[in-house]
Amino acid sequence: MSTISPADTAWMLIATAMVLVMTPALGFFYGGLVRAKNTLNTMMMSFVALGFVGIAWALIGYSLAFSEGSGLLGSFRNTFLNGVRLESHGTIPHILFVAYQGTFAIITAALISGAIVERMRFGPYLTFVTLWSIVVYAPIAHWVWGGGWLGKLGALDFAGGTVVHINAAAAALVIALVLGTRKDYARQAIIPQNVPFTLLGAGLLWFGWFGFNGGSAFGANASAALAFANTMFAPSATLVVWSLLDLMRTRKTTAVGAATAIVVGLVAITPAAGFVSPLSAIAIGGIAAAPSYFALLWRARSRVDDSLDVVSAHGVGGMVGALLTGVLAEKSWNGVGDGALFGNMRQLGIQAIAIVATIAYSAVATFVVVKVIALGFNLRASVKEEGIGLDVTQHGEEAYSRGEGAILVHADGGI
């Protein structure tokens, strides 16, 4: 217990709360982008992860990801939080480390929901995120951070470019393809119901991301400060480049574009946050704008109904960030290793291996999870339910209820 640092613990307590708030923030980000009749359903897809994935993490996910095991998977040593007490893990209490990592599992699962909004039944969704966090998230977290083979290989992923973003994006693409397009997709205009929600979500995500990246230093130290500053400047650069691209293409700078740019910049700097110089972070943020921008344009014309563009934002942005980490990492800043630009060509190859391995495992394992659930459940809402909207059909509530014509039903069933 003597190695616990009060300063580090204080920062990680705050950082954990900040990452937790990113999931409701994601709910607002996504909730603003769907149609009014699906607002609550979309936001609930994020909110329920706080419960279902949080508990799955405490009971089994953490153990599979972080307890000592093989290169591929942890063990069952810490299931049900067995052996997790107040002893030190690094310089913070072990239980705080579990909580902090749990917030990552929660938001990663919630990210996937952007690909399947407005059409998936809620029961199967609950089953999906719960199983996915155990079967897909925990192993990949182990590979990179839990003492697994990618970490040993030397893959650099400061706060989750592969584990969180590329992983979620691969899963999102698979489940979107399995579910199929919304009935109205490419037939009617489907436009955002509340852009201010989306901006609010983007703002709160940025705030929380300081805990996501800064906290991934696991201490109140210089590495955290570097990650923190990079988390500020990289999305700034993305926002600038994105706005200019928007201006050149449409002569207008869009609000939904700005919100998206912030997320893309945050995603891109995530793997690099504590490894690159602030100027490199600005370069990463700026460079990351273009691939995601054009991926979004292409996707909207395609037959892939990744409705809220998880792949373009988190997949493409995550890959750009992970690769550029392998280029721009600087030992004089991070004390860990150099990237290709500073003489270590090998790092770029390792980053590529981490990307390919993550996509491959996530895609295959997600497919299996979805297909297993499909054996027992009908995944899709009916055409009629899609028409009425998932708020009323899945939750029995409306986001914007005016109460006209609502007649009180008493508990005994009478009127």
Partner 1 sequence: MKLVVAIVRPEKLNEVLEALYRAEVTGLTISRVRGHGGETEQVETYRGTTVKVELHDKVRLEIGVSDHFVEPTVRAILSAGRTGEVGDGKIFVLPVEKVYRIRTGEEDRAAVTPITMEESPA
Q: Which two tokens stand for residue 168?
A: 């979620």
Q: Which of residues 97-136 bind partner 1 (CB under 8 A)?
A: none
**Contacting residues for 234 by C-beta, under 8 A, at least 6 apart:** 265, 266, 268, 269, 272, 281, 282, 284, 285, 288
382 binds partner 1 (CB under 8 A): no
384 binds partner 1 (CB under 8 A): yes
Q: Which residues pair with 120 in a beta bridge?
A: 380
Find the part of the chain contacting partner 1 (CB under 8 A) among 103-111, 119-127, 266-274, 407-415.
Answer: 407-415
Q: How far is the CB of 42 from partner 1 (least distance, A)?
A: 17
Q: Which of residues 132-191 bind partner 1 (CB under 8 A)?
A: 184, 187-189
Residue nearer to partner 1 on the CB measure, 3 or 188: 188
Q: Whole-angstrom Cα distance, residue 139 to residue 233?
A: 31
Amino acid at 16: T
Residue nearer to partner 1 on the CB measure, 349 or 387: 387
**Contacting residues for 266 by C-beta, under 8 A, at least 6 apart:** 205, 206, 209, 231, 234, 235
414 binds partner 1 (CB under 8 A): no
- The pattern of x and - marking residues 189 through 208 that bind partner 1 according to CB under 8 A reads x-------------------
**Count of CA atoms in the C-beta half-sphere (13 A) of 47:** 10
Q: How far is the CB of 37 from partner 1 (least distance, A)?
A: 8
Looking up tokens 């008493």 gives: 410
388 binds partner 1 (CB under 8 A): yes
Q: Whole-angstrom Cα distance, residue 10 to residue 15?
A: 9
Q: Whole-angstrom Cα distance, residue 12 to residue 17?
A: 9
392 binds partner 1 (CB under 8 A): yes
Q: Which of residues 12-51 bind partner 1 (CB under 8 A)?
A: 37
- What number of chain residues touch partner 1 (CB under 8 A)? 23
412 binds partner 1 (CB under 8 A): no
- Binding residues for partner 1, rule: CB under 8 A, are 37, 184, 187-189, 384, 387-389, 392, 396-398, 401-402, 404-409, 411, 415
